[in-house]
Amino acid sequence: MRRPMVVANWKMNTRASDAYILATTIRNAIAPIEGIEVVVCPPSIWLGEVSDILKKDGKVNVGAQNMFYEAEGAFTGEISPLMIVDIAKYVIIGHSERRAYFYENDFIVNEKVLAAIKHGLTPIICVGEKHKSSPISDAIKQLNEALTHLPKNRFKDIVVAYEPVWAINKGKVASMDHIVKAMIKIREVVGRDTPILYGGSVNTDHITDLAKRPEIDGVLVGSASIRAASFIKICQEWAATKSFKGCAA
C-alpha cells in the first residue's frame, strides 16, 4: 500500500534562524500525527541542521531540493548524492524552476534520477506541462524521459510529483478534473507502487478536496510550507482525510 505523503519545498527561503524555528515548530506539531509521511526539503545549506532537528523525534524525513549526478569531483558549487545520503532520504529532481532557470533538460533529469537511485536516495521526480494550453502528454513525455534506463522493479523507489508549471506559485490550484486526469495517466506509466503527488499552489483552502481524491497520494507544497501554521494544517488535514479515504491501489 502506498503511503500518503506531504512534502515541503522551502525553495530559496529562510535564513539560519528561520530554518531552525520552522523545523522545530514542524517537528513538534507533526509528532502526534499518524498515518502520513512528512518530508521537509530545506535549502541545501541548512540540510544538516534541519536534519538534526527533525531526527530528534524521528517522524519527519528530510529531502534535498537538488543534487548533481556525479558522486564527487571538480564541480564547483554542486552537491553530490554521497553528501546527501547520510543526511536525507529524498531528493527533488527536475523541478520546473531548475528546468527554467538552470537549463536542466530531460537528459540531465534522467542522469540525476539514476544517480539518486544508485546512491540510495528516493528521487521526487517533478513533471508538468508549461502552459495551461499545453497537453498533459508533455508531462508524460518528461516522465518517460526521466525514467529512461530505470528498471520497472525500481519504480517502487521513486516518487512522482505532478506540478503543472502554470499552477505553481499562482495562488490557484489546477482543476480537480485536470489533476485527476494527469494522475491517471502518470499511474499508467509508473504502475501501482509509486506515490504520486500533486503540486502547484497547494494551501489550506483546498487541501481537504485534494485529500479526498484517492488518485492523489500526496502534495508537494511550496509557499504554504514556509508558514508553519499553514503547513501544519495541511499535514493535519491530509492525515485526517486520508485515514478514511486512503490511496487508490
The helix (run of H) or strand (run of E) holding residue 48 is helix 47-55
C-alpha of 165 from chain center = 14
Task: Report in angstroms how near the CB of residue 10 gets to ligand PGA at its nearest.
Answer: 10
State which residue, 130 or 154, has the beta carbon closest to ligand PGA. 130
Q: Which of 95, 97, 104, 111 is the catalytic position?
A: 95
Distances (CA, A) of 173 to 27, 49, 62, 165, 176: 27, 32, 25, 11, 8
Q: Which is nearer to ligand PGA, 53 or 92 (by Cβ)?
A: 92
Does the annotation mark 206 as catalytic? no
C-beta neighbour count of 70 within 10 angstroms: 14
CB of 194 to ligand PGA, least distance (A): 18
- Going by C-alpha positions, the residue among 173, 244, 245 that lies closest to residue 216 is 245
Question: Closest CB to ligand PGA among 103 and 149?
Answer: 103
Least distance in angstroms from the C-beta of 124 to ligand PGA: 9
163 among known catalytic residues: yes
Catalytic one among 37, 104, 129, 163? Answer: 163
Query: Cβ of residue 11: shortest distance to ligand PGA, in angstroms?
Result: 7
Smallest distance, Å, CB 230 to ligand PGA?
A: 10
Gap between the Cα atoms of 93 and 138, Å rounded: 17
Comparing every residue's Cβ against ligand PGA, the nearest one is: 222
- Mapped onto helix, strand or coil, the DSSP state of residue 64 is strand
The answer to whether 67 touches 36, Cβ cutoff 8 Å, is: no
Whether the Cβ atoms of residue 64 and residue 51 lie closer than 8 Å to each other:
no
Q: Which is nearer to ligand PGA, 23 or 168 (CB)?
A: 168
How far is the C-alpha of 113 from the C-alpha of 126, rounded, in Å? 11
Residues lying near ligand PGA in the complex (CB under 6 A) are found at 9, 163, 168-169, 199-202, 220-224
Catalytic site residues?
A: 95, 163
